[in-house]
Every structure is written in structure tokens, then in C-alpha cells.
């Protein structure tokens, strides 16, 4: 087997993403299968490059270098080629979250000054996004991949041919420090912010992950995560292309039966997932479905011990928990295979500096502030469209409260805003969720804080455990030394908890439910 841990190489980050793809094609061979689409169709490096050159040549008409072009597509060959096509000619892919709703999407395209959005008629039809399509068309021109393909002219086809032989003569030549992609925050604290990432930022994160995690060319990576999510874009799409690892794409993580079947059929060895999705896959997997997996890399949300137990019943796959933020392109920390410490998110990636700032009422932990080559160029705010505001001196405040042990392993204590102040005492909402998970391990739980006129705030637990009773939680806490102040004042049960398209719990929706129940 070739490849594995590749020491961080700064020189490899001093180029564009498209240049890195061209280098991978030379290294691994143009006829090598690089990507398997949702319909099972395999694409080689040559096929991807030809399609990217032809599509990019067609899409560049009517746009200028450095202009943001929206991408509204599910994970797969279409999204990968659209990203590379836009990038090849010096435009900037703006990855749009089609699960975020019309208002958030409109805000995103205005913030990034997007006037053209690449999508597909089949995607709109299958996703039943006709209403969204109508709203978006008010602010941008929608470009359908089917129409572009059918209307490719002679010049576009010549560009594809020429790109195959002299790619550097056809592709644009951007500086590595230029913007490579724009992604968007979830908008849970107001209008979505654009996150501008440079070619260097993304390639630095690719290099950091390759330094940290042993990846072999014989691996097959299964990626069901959306490309509008940075984990799905950087780790699920770009890293395997650059590392010479075949990727099997699936258009949505919400099809567990189909996903475990395709994992087995394609003999996937690495799976990207979240805790929520991983538990679903383990529940529906038949014996043998997950046997080819050696690693499942989980991010975006805390990996519960209950999920580890469930997965162990279905397979011997190693679950590696990591931690990332879009602003860091995204991977900040991960557990190494050789020293996988449950309950932590592992060690910081190479080249990342970190400080812990004190937080009132919390001991033994602090607010994580980081700096490194993968930290974003800056935010683009809705009230200043197109303007990138860089982090001060390169330092980014994650908003997460963490502790770090003597070996450098990081434990997430919770979001800064995921703590409640009850009668002057600081209570971690994550601890509340952990208590519920220990008592009802087969269910999902979310704790939120709402206003309380007497105590300042109170904690409400929202759970899909129909049998959940506060009296049972109080009894469990008394036997396990948990202070009663850390328990919810009320439990609300639902058939299912709201989930975002990225797999995270939809805390704003859960918060609204808790407040409405008062």
C-alpha cells in the first residue's frame, strides 16, 4: 500500500486547488477511477478534468474573475465538477445550503453577491424544490447543468480537449492566497455569514489531515455528507481527489438503508458521518454491511458512547471523533487511530496554535481561540456584501469551551452559549444531555435554557424518549452524585428531534418548541 501519514508540507499548500488536482492526475494516472457517483457511474481523473474544462468554459461567459458563482447541488459528480469548473477559470464557488430555506438562501446569495447559481433540473424535481427555485430566480440567474451540457459549443469542447493536453494553458492562474470557496454559517444567530476560504486555507487543511491520519490509495472513502458543509467539501470531496483515494458519493445522508447497501457493494473502508447518522446506519445494517469499513470519521456533533456501543454490535469499525468549524476549513482536532481516546475530540492538527481564554463560572476549561494556515480569510456579513473581514491578527474565537489535558487531547465542554445561569450557578447543557443519554441511551436528547423570572434561567430537556420522566432522571442523578441544579425543570417528548441538513440537532427549532411550551 502507498501513502499513509504524509508529513505536513507547506509547499503543497502554495498553489490552487485546481493545480493540486492536476498534480494528482499526473501522480495517480488520468485513467484511474477517482469518483463513483450516486448512480454507480465511475469517473476517472481524465473524465473529471474534461468535464470541468468544458463546463467551466461555458459558465465563465457573463462572469468575471473573482466573482462568486452559486452551487446548489447534492453531493456527487455534478457538484464536484461544478466546483472544479468554476474554480478552473478563476471564479469562486459559493456553496449554497438547500436545506436552510428560501430566506436564508436569498440572504446568502446577496451576501456573497451571487448573480448566477449552478443547479440541475433533475435535482430540483427529485428534491421538490420548485418553490425554492422560484424564489431564488428573483435574485439570480439559475444555470441548469442539463442545459449547459446540451448547449456546449465548439469552443467549449475544444477547451475540454485542450485542457486534457495542456491544462495549465487553459485554466486560469490564481494566486494561492485568493478566495477558493465561500461557505455559509447556519444563520442561527441572525442572517447567515459568508465564510471566505482561500486555496491555501483548504489545501493546508488537506495537508494537516493527511499528516494526522493514515490514508492509503487502496482506501475507498464513502461520502454522504453535503458539499455545502465544509466537512463534506474538504474531507469528503477535495482531500480524496488530491490524495488519490477513490470516493463513493451519495446525494444525501438521510437514506440509511441505501447507504449501508452501497458501503457493502463498493467495499468502502472509510466513512464520513455524524453521530446522528452513524447511529442510524448501525441500526439498519444487516450482518456484513459494514464489515469492509476500517474507520468512520465523525464530526459536526458530539459522538455519544451509546452510538459507539450500537456500532460495536454491528461491526468492528473504529469510530474516530474529531472537531471542526467552517472557519478552519474545517478540521481543528481529531483522534489518532493509534491513541483513540473516547470522550475527547483528539489532538489539534499540525500548525495550529491555541489559547484558552477564561470563562466566568467555569473552572478547568476555557474558550478555545485558534490560529493557523487553515483559518479563514474572514467573514462576509449581510450588511456589507462582498467585503471580507479578516480575523484580528489571524486568531479565530471558536465560541467553544474546552479543556486540554497534558497530552494535548481536547475535550469539548460545550458552546459558550450552551451554558445556563441558574440562580447564579453555571450549568452545562451538554452535561444535562449526557445525564439523559445515560438513562435513556437509545434515544436523542437536547437541552435548552429558557428565561425564568425567579431563577434567571431554567433548563428544558427535549427528548424522543416517549417514556422519559423527570422523576426517573432525579432518581438516577441521586444515585450518581449529580447535583439537582444540573437537571431540567421540565421534559418535553417528541416523536423525533428537529435535525439540520448537516446532521446536527436544530437547536433554534428546539429552543422555539421549548419556549412555546411554556
Structural domain includes residue 302 = yes
pLDDT at 50 over 70: yes
Q: Are residues 288 and 169 in the same domain?
A: yes
pTM of the shown model: 0.83
Name the band, by pLDDT with cuts 50, 70 and 90, for residue 175.
confident
Q: Are residues 120 and 187 in the same domain?
A: yes
Q: Are residues 368 and 445 in the same domain?
A: no
Average pLDDT over residues 436-448: 83
DSSP 394: G
We report the CATH number of the domain holding residue 322 as 3.40.50.12780
Structural domain includes residue 487 = yes
Structural domain includes residue 413 = no
Q: Are residues 336 and 480 in the same domain?
A: no
Name the band, by pLDDT with cuts 50, 70 and 90, for residue 82.
very high
Cell numbers at residue 282, please?
448501525
Give the pLDDT confidence score for residue 7 in this predicted structure: 85
Give the pLDDT confidence score for residue 168 in this predicted structure: 57
More reliable by pLDDT, 334 or 190: 334
Name the band, by pLDDT with cuts 50, 70 and 90, for residue 412.
confident
b/e map of 24-43 (b: 16 or more CB within 10 Å)? bbeebeeeeebbbbbeeeeb
Other CB atoms within a 10 A radius of the CB of residue 104 amount to: 18
Cell numbers at residue 474, please?
432525579
More reliable by pLDDT, 496 or 240: 240
DSSP 440: S
Q: Are residues 77 and 159 in the same domain?
A: yes
Percent of the chain with pLDDT over 70: 89
Residues 6+ apart with CB under 8 A from 449: 420, 429, 457, 458, 459, 460
Name the band, by pLDDT with cuts 50, 70 and 90, for residue 512.
confident
Q: Are residues 381 and 496 in the same domain?
A: no
Structural domain includes residue 233 = yes
Cell numbers at residue 251, please?
446525494
Percent of the chain with pLDDT over 90: 49
pLDDT in tens, 337-395: 889 999 899 999 999 999 998 887 778 888 899 999 999 999 999 999 999 999 999 99
Structural domain includes residue 362 = yes
Q: Are residues 173 and 258 in the same domain?
A: yes
Domain final position from 346, 370, 402: 402
Give the pLDDT confidence score for residue 187 in this predicted structure: 53
Average pLDDT over residues 316-324: 91
pLDDT at 473 over 60: yes
What's 218-271 look like in SS3? CCEEEECCCCCCHHHHHHHHHHHHHHCCEEEECCCCCCHHHHHHHHHHHCCCEE
pLDDT in tens, 11-48: 899 999 999 999 999 999 999 999 999 999 999 999 99
More reliable by pLDDT, 40 or 167: 40
The structural domain count of the chain equals: 2
More reliable by pLDDT, 480 or 343: 343
Q: Are residues 120 and 232 in the same domain?
A: yes
Name the band, by pLDDT with cuts 50, 70 and 90, for residue 270.
very high
Q: Are residues 364 and 425 in the same domain?
A: no
Name the band, by pLDDT with cuts 50, 70 and 90, for residue 87.
very high
Structural domain includes residue 159 = yes
Give the pLDDT confidence score for residue 510 in this predicted structure: 84
Domain final position from 402, 437, 453: 402
The rounded mean pLDDT for the chain is 87
Cell numbers at residue 217, please?
490509495
pLDDT at 209 over 60: yes
We report the CATH number of the domain holding residue 487 as 3.30.300.30
Name the band, by pLDDT with cuts 50, 70 and 90, for residue 99.
confident
Cell numbers at residue 296, please?
468512520
Q: Are residues 133 and 64 in the same domain?
A: yes
Q: Are residues 252 and 299 in the same domain?
A: yes
pLDDT in tens, 182-193: 999 865 555 789
Residue in 273, 285, 342 with CA at minimum distance from that of residue 313? 285
Give the pLDDT confidence score for residue 505 in this predicted structure: 77
Cell numbers at residue 460, please?
428544558
Give the pLDDT confidence score for residue 448 in this predicted structure: 81
Name the band, by pLDDT with cuts 50, 70 and 90, for residue 159.
low
Give the pLDDT confidence score for residue 386 in this predicted structure: 93
Domain final position from 374, 402, 430: 402
Q: How far apart are CA 382 and CA 325, in angstroms?
A: 20
Q: Which domain holds residue 478?
A: 418-516
Residue in 453, 318, 347 with CA at minimum distance from that of residue 408? 347
Structural domain includes residue 260 = yes
Structural domain includes residue 449 = yes
Q: Are residues 93 and 33 in the same domain?
A: yes
Q: How far apart are CA 376 and CA 330, in angstroms?
A: 9
Amino acid at each position: 500500500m502507498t501513502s499513509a501519514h504524509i508529513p505536513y508540507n507547506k509547499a503543497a499548500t502554495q498553489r490552487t486547488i485546481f493545480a493540486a488536482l492536476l498534480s494528482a492526475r499526473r501522480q495517480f494516472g488520468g485513467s484511474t477511477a477517482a469518483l463513483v457517483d450516486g448512480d454507480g457511474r465511475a469517473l476517472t481523473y481524465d473524465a473529471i478534468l474534461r468535464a470541468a474544462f468544458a463546463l467551466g468554459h461555458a459558465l465563465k461567459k457573463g462572469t468575471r474573475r473573482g466573482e462568486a458563482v452559486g452551487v446548489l447541488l447534492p453531493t456527487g459528480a455534478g457538484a464536484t465538477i461544478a466546483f472544479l469548473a468554476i474554480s478552473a477559470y478563476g471564479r469562486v464557488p459559493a456553496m449554497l445550503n438547500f436545506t436552510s430555506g428560501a430566506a436564508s438562501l436569498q440572504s446568502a446569495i446577496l451576501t456573497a453577491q451571487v448573480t448566477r447559481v449552478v443547479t440541475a433540473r433533475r435535482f430540483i424535481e427529485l428534491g421538490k424544490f420548485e418553490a425554492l427555485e422560484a424564489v431564488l430566480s428573483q435574485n439570480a440567474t439559475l444555470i441548469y447543468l442539463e442545459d449547459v451540457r446540451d448547449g456546449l459549443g465548439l469552443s467549449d469542447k475544444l477547451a475540454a480537449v485542450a485542457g486534457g493536453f495542456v491544462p495549465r494553458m487553459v485554466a486560469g492562474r490564481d494566486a494561492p492566497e485568493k478566495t477558493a470557496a465561500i461557505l455559509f454559517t447556519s444563520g442561527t444567530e441572525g442572517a447567515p455569514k459568508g465564510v471566505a476560504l482561500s486555496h491555501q486555507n483548504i489545501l493546508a487543511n488537506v495537508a494537516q489531515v493527511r499528516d494526522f491520519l493514515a490514508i492509503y490509495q487502496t482506501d475507498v472513502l464513502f461520502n454522504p455528507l453535503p458539499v455545502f458543509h465544509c466537512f463534506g467539501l474538504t474531507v469528503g470531496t477535495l482531500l480524496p481527489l488530491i490524495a488519490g483515494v477513490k470516493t463513493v458519493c451519495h446525494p444525501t445522508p438521510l437514506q440509511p438503508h441505501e447507504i449501508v447497501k452501497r458501503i457493502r457493494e463498493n467495499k468502502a473502508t472509510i466513512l464520513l458521518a455524524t453521530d446522528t447518522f452513524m447511529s442510524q446506519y448501525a441500526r439498519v445494517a444487516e450482518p456484513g454491511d459494514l464489515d469492509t469499513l476500517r474507520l468512520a470519521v465523525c464530526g459536526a456533533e458530539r459522538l455519544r458512547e451509546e452510538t459507539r456501543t450500537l456500532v460495536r454490535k454491528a461491526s468492528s469499525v473504529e469510530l474516530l471523533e474529531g472537531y471542526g468549524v467552517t472557519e478552519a476549513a474545517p478540521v481543528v482536532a481529531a483522534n489518532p487511530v493509534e491513541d483513540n481516546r473516547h470522550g475527547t475530540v483528539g489532538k489539534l492538527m499540525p500548525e495550529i496554535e491555541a489559547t484558552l481564554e477564561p470563562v466566568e463560572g467555569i473552572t478547568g476549561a476555557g474558550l478555545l481561540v485558534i490560529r493557523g494556515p487553515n483559518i479563514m480569510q474572514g467573514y462576509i456579513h449581510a450588511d456589507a456584501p462582498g467585503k471580507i473581514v479578516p480575523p484580528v491578527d489571524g486568531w479565530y474565537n471558536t465560541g467553544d469551551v474546552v479543556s486540554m489535558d497534558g497530552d494535548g487531547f481536547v475535550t469539548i465542554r460545550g458552546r459558550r452559549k450552551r451554558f445556563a445561569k441558574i440562580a447564579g450557578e453555571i450549568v452545562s447543557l451538554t452535561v444535562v444531555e449526557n445525564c439523559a443519554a445515560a438513562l435513556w441511551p437509545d434515544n436523542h436528547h437536547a437541552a435548552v435554557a429558557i428565561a425564568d423570572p425567579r431563577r434567571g434561567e431554567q433548563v428544558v430537556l427535549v427528548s424522543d424518549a416517549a417514556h422519559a420522566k423527570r422523576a426517573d432522571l432525579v432518581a438516577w442523578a441521586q444515585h450518581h452524585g449529580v447535583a439537582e441544579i444540573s437537571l431540567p425543570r421540565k421534559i418535553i417528548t417528541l416523536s423525533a428531534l428537529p435535525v439540520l441538513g448537516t446532521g446536527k440537532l436544530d437547536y433554534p427549532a428546539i429552543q422555539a418548541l421549548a419556549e412555546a411550551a411554556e
